[in-house]
Every structure is written in C-alpha cells, then in structure tokens.
C-alpha cells in the first residue's frame, strides 16, 4: 500500500507545463515595459539637460555681450570726458596765453 | 527561464489548485528573479532560490485567501502532462485532500513528491528542522491515506 500510495502521489503531483504563452507573458512584463519607461525617462532628462545647457550658454553669451557693451560705453565716455576736459583746459590756456597750445605727448601727460 | 517555468508553475499549481493564481504567482516569482539575478551564484542556487521563493509565496497566498475553505479544483486549466492516476475521481479526491492540508504540510508534500526532495533538502528550503519536516510529512501522509481509503470504501 505504501509504495503504491507513494506512486499515486508522485503521479498526481508530477510537474505540469504552464498554460501556453506563459513565457511570453512573463517576458512582456520583464524588460520591455520597464525598459520603455526608462527610455522615455532618459529621453526627457536628456532633453531637459540639452535645453538647460543651450539656455545657459545663450544666457552666458548675452551677459558677456552686455558687459562688453557696457565696458565699451564706459571707455568711450571716459575718452569723451577726457577729451572734453582737455578741450576745456586747452580753451582756458588759450584764453590766458593765446600763443600756448598743448599738443601730442604733452596732452597725454595731462 | 524556460527550463524552470514548469518547476515554479507546478509548485504553485499543486499548492493552490488554481491555474490563474498559479500563473500570477509564477509571473511574480520570475519578476523577482529578474530583479535579483545578480545575487544568483550558480544553477544549484537558482534551483534553491526558485523552490524557496515559490513555496514561501504560495504559503503567504494561501494564508491570505484562507484558501482551504475554497478549493477551486474544477479549474478550466488542464495540465499538459496530467497524472496517469487510473481513477480520475480518486485522483481528484487526492488533489482535493492535498489542497486541504495545512500550508506547511502541503508545502512539504509538494516538495517531496513533485520535486522528489528528501526531508533534509526540504528542511533547508523551508528553513525548519529536519525532524519537523519528517513529523509533518508523516502526519500529512496519514491524513491523505485515510481520506483515500474512505473514498475507496464509499465507492466499493
């Protein structure tokens, strides 16, 4: 009875094949779904990174350009101020000593 | 994966006697395996991991559903390699009795007779003492034998 009962149990509990398409369903749940999600997440992250990088570079360029323009304006203004002062000094000198003029190197030293 | 799907599905199917649930659990097990693949060290470790994970998952599931009160033996699924138990009714009766065993006894019977494991291996899988495996197996076989004999007497 024991041997026969053991055999019956083995037969009833023999391994069975899973329903058709089981492996496909497992595989469908494994890498593709998760991979696709990761792909889009990666794509969005990469897109944002490019956007920020380009935007950052553009902003940097704009600031540099504005700074250069400010500097240029300041230099021009400084030269203008200097020239005006020189002209003013020159005019006063001419009024007090009409024969005296400041030329070239002497103007630079002032 | 193809090599082990029959193992996992069969443990779940014999434990729960419901193909849809067995497939659901099997899919979960393979998803877990996919996540833990880096931890698997060898083919023997993989076999051990699959048997332990499947058995533990089945025990949890069975407790969750209080499964013993609703055993859906008459499932639409027909195993591809069915048992050749001569008397279908007795075979079904035996399966029904297995499904009614307490979770630990059921796990031990399935591992013993489906996977052909000895009590030492089963103890390792279930992480319980060998003597506990032996006593539970003895008790489970006694219950099944009595039920089968009763059924045979009724038919006679």
Instruction: Give the residue-averaged pLDDT of B133-151.
Output: 92
Cα–Cα distance for residue pair B26/B15, rounded to 1 Å? 12
Dihedral (Cα; B77, B30, B16, B69), 10-degree rounding: -120
Contact A26 B30 (CB under 8 A): yes
User: Which residue range(s) make up the domain with B27?
Assistant: 2-72+86-155
Whether residue B56 lies inside any domain: the answer is: yes
- Tell me whether residue B81 is in a domain: no
Residue B148 with chain A: CB contacts under 8 Å: 5, 8
In-domain check, residue B42: yes
Chain A residue with minimal CA distance to B106? A13
Instruction: Note the pTM of the prediction, 2 decimals.
Output: 0.64
- Residue B38 within any structural domain of the chain: yes
Q: Mind telling me how many Å the CA of A48 is from chain B's nearest CA?
A: 29
**Residue B54, CB-side half-sphere exposure with 13 Å CA sphere:** 32
Q: Is residue B116 part of a domain?
A: yes
For B31, the closest of A11, A19, A29 (CB atoms) is A29
pLDDT greater at residue B65 or residue B50:
B50
Side-chain half-sphere exposure of A91, counting CA atoms within 13 A: 6
> What's the total number of domains in chain B?
1
Cβ neighbours of B110 in A, within 8 Å: 13
Report yes or no: B61 and B40 within 8 Å, Cβ to Cβ. Answer: no
- pLDDT tens digits, A11-65: 999 999 899 888 888 888 876 544 455 555 555 556 555 555 666 677 778 888 8
Asked if residue B32 lies in contact with residue B78, where contact means CB atoms within 8 angstroms, the answer is no
CB contact under 8 A, B109 and A13: yes
Partner residue opposite A16 with nearest CB, options B10, B109, B110? B10
Residues 17-56 of A with CB under 8 A from B: 17-19, 22-23, 25-27, 29-31
Closest CA to B116 of A55, A2, A63, A11: A11
CB contact at 8 A, B122 and B112:
yes
> Which chain A positions have a beta carbon within 8 Å of B19's beta carbon?
19
Asked, for residue B132, whether it belongs to a domain, the answer is yes
User: Using one digit for the tens of pLDDT, what is the confidence trace for A62-105?
Assistant: 888 887 876 666 665 555 455 556 667 777 777 877 666 555 55
Specify burial of residue B102 (Cβ count, 10 A radius: 0-12, 13-18, 19+).
middle
Question: How far off is chain B from A17, nearest CA to CA, in Å?
Answer: 5
3-state secondary structure of B36: coil
**Residue B100 belongs to a domain with what CATH number?**
1.20.140
Report if residue B77 sits inside a domain: no
Residues of chain B in contact with residue A29, where contact means CB-CB under 8 angstroms, are 27, 31
Contact B81 A15 (CB under 8 A): yes
Confidence check: pLDDT of B148 > 90: no
Whether A8 sits inside 8 A of B94 (CB atoms) is: yes
pLDDT score at B84: 45
Separation of alpha carbons B70 and B45, rounded Å: 34
Which pLDDT band, with edges at 50, 70 and 90, does A1 fall under? Answer: low
N-to-C CA span, chain A: 127
**Tokens 């009833």 label which residue?**
A12
- Is residue B78 assigned to a domain? no
CB contact under 8 A, B1 and A23: yes
Dihedral over Cα of B85, B88, B93, B95: its sign: positive
* Banded pLDDT at B75 (limits 50, 70, 90): low
Residue A42 CA to chain centroid, in angstroms?
17
- State pLDDT tens for residues B92-128: 888 889 989 999 999 999 999 999 999 999 999 999 9
């Amino acid at each position: 009875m024991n041997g026969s009962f053991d055999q019956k149990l083995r037969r009833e509990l023999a391994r069975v094949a899973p329903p058709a398409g089981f492996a496909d369903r497992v595989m469908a749940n494994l890498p593709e779904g998760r991979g696709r999600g990761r792909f889009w997440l990666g794509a969005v992250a990469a897109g944002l990174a490019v956007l920020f990088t380009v935007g950052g570079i553009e902003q940097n360029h704009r600031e540099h350009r504005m700074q250069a323009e400010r500097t240029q304006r300041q230099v021009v203004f400084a030269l203008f101020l200097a020239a005006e002062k020189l002209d003013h000094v020159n005019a006063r000198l001419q009024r007090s000593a009409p024969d005296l003029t400041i030329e070239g190197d002497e103007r630079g030293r002032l | 994966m193809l090599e082990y799907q029959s193992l996992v599905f069969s443990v779940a199917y014999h434990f729960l006697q419901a193909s849809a649930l067995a497939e659901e659990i099997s899919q979960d097990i393979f998803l877990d395996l996919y996540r833990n693949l880096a931890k698997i060290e060898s083919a023997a470790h993989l076999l051990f991991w699959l048997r332990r994970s499947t058995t533990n998952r089945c025990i949890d599931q069975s407790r969750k559903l209080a499964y013993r009160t609703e055993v859906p033996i008459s499932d639409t699924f027909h195993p591809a390699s069915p048992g050749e138990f001569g008397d279908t009714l007795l075979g079904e009766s035996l399966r029904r009795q297995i499904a009614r065993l307490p979770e630990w006894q059921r796990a031990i019977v399935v591992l013993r007779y489906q996977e052909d494991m000895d009590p030492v291996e089963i103890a390792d899988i279930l992480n319980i003492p060998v003597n506990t495996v032996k006593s539970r197996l003895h008790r489970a076989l006694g219950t099944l034998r009595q039920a089968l004999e009763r059924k045979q007497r009724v038919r006679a």
